[in-house]
């Protein structure tokens, strides 16, 4: 029975790793795909407008428990220390959510970083097919230098350290 469970775990782990790779379209080393988004209602910008900056993209949903565990840590450990650094930009995109849902969510949670709509998964679908939260760190040349799926304290600390080191 023990051997069966070990084999089952090995198969599941292998399948999960394969499925995750299959669900992720943009990987470390890839250029960030081109897309436009609403920075404020009625004000559209393009991700290329942020070339020359270190850019963190977070893809989440208001109903997602791991996302709701991660975002307060993002506020405290990434946004608060770097929000005034002109070399850094941070955008959170609410998968399948519009301004009408994101504005009250942001206010209720007390976040002061940009939480932006991604209705119809237009942005999310450029990066992946499933699973949130996702983080993509893009260097000053527009290349993805870090990517994560889900939330764990250990993985999140890697992201924090990378950002801190890049912005020294």
Residue-wise DSSP of the chain: -HHHHHHHHHHHHHHHHHHHHHHB---TTSBPPP-EEEEETTEEEEGGGGTTSEEEEEEE-TT-HHHHHHHHHHIIIIIHHHTT-TTEEEEEEEET--HHHHHHHHHHHT--S-EEEEGGGTTHHHHBSS-S-EEEEE-TTSBEEEEEES--HHHHHHHHHHHHHHT-
Residue pair 72/109 in contact by the 8 Å Cβ criterion = yes
The closest alpha carbon to 70, from 37, 115, 118, belongs to 115
pLDDT bin (cut points 50, 70, 90) of residue 101 is very high
110-146, pLDDT tens digit by residue? 999 999 999 999 999 999 999 999 999 999 999 999 9
Instruction: Tell me the mean pLDDT in the region 84-110.
Output: 97
| Residue that wins the pLDDT comparison between 104 and 8 | 104
Total domains present in the chain: 1
* Residue 37, in any domain of the structure: yes
Q: What is the CATH number of the domain that holds 40?
A: 3.40.30.10
The reply to whether 30 falls in a domain is yes
Residue 151 maps to a domain: yes
Q: What is the pLDDT of residues 46-63, one digit of tens each?
A: 999 999 999 999 999 999
High-pLDDT (> 90) share of the chain, %: 85
> Does some domain include residue 106?
yes
> What is the Cα–Cα distance from 52 to 143, expressed in whole angstroms?
11
**Are 32 and 51 within 8 A, CB to CB?**
no
Structural domain of 99: 26-166
The answer to whether position 131 is within a domain reads yes
Query: Is 63 within the bounds of a domain?
Result: yes
**Residue 1 maps to a domain:** no
For residue 17, being part of any structural domain is answered with no
């Amino acid at each position: 029975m023990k051997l069966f469970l070990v084999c089952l775990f090995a198969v599941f782990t292998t399948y999960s790793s394969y499925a995750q790779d299959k669900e992720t379209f943009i990987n470390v080393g890839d250029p960030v795909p081109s897309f436009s988004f609403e920075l404020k209602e009625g004000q559209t910008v393009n991700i290329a407008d942020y070339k020359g900056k270190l850019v963190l993209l977070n893809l989440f949903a208001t109903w997602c428990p791991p996302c709701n565990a991660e975002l307060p840590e993002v506020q405290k450990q990434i946004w608060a220390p770097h929000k005034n650094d002109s070399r850094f930009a941070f955008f959170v995109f609410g998968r399948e959510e519009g301004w009408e849902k994101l504005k009250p969510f942001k206010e209720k949670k007390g976040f002061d970083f940009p939480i932006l709509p991604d209705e119809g998964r237009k942005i999310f679908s450029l990066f992946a097919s499933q699973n949130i939260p996702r983080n993509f760190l893009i260097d000053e040349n527009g290349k993805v230098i870090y990517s994560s799926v889900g939330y764990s304290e250990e993985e999140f600390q890697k992201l924090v350290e990378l950002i801190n080191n890049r912005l020294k």
